[in-house]
Amino acid sequence: MSDFKLWGWDKKPRTMLRFIKAGDIFCFKLDEQRYCFGRIIIKIFIGHVAELFDNISNSPDISEAEIKQARRLIEPVILDSYSLFDRKIEKGSDWRIIGHQQNYVPTDMDGVYFTYGEEPWCKKMDIWENEIPISGKEAESLPRVSPFGDYNIKELLKDI
């Protein structure tokens, strides 16, 4: 039996924040011709940590096999899930939950950290929200604990 339920692009144009959960498969319009896919890894206090797959397509459809073979396009990011999936605030953005992976357990999360604070109180936080004091220099090398919207994600992917 499959761990995946894929219902596609047209079933749910909007997903309320409280229904977004780890293992959700999402798709968004990267530009006029291309779609990008990803998975919600975990909910944290400020949004959802997500991974974006290296599968970019001319169609908003993805198969279970393609998901299983996908690699991360970039390091995991924190999404502003409220504005992306629920409220759809940014003009021209279209993000949709298109499926779910049952019993999803995050893997390859060692070394995935976000940072916040100012010297001398900088901290790094893993996806489980464990905090570790760090130097300002180390903090400069890590992404901030800050949720990304459509514009931010597309800026990260603009050279892909």
Domain regions of the chain by residue span: 4-106+145-156
Position 1 scores a pLDDT of 56
| Low pLDDT (below 70) residues in the chain | 1
**Whole-number Å distance between alpha carbons of 31 and 80:** 19
Position 92 scores a pLDDT of 84
Position 119 scores a pLDDT of 86
Position 160 scores a pLDDT of 78
Contact (CB, 8 A) for 12 and 97: yes
**Whole-number Å distance between alpha carbons of 46 and 18:** 13
CA distances from 52 to 35, 73, 92, 129, 157 (A): 11, 6, 19, 20, 10
Position 89 scores a pLDDT of 86
Position 115 scores a pLDDT of 96
Residue in this structure with the two tokens 């003009």, named with its chain if needed:
91
Q: DSSP code of 129?
A: -
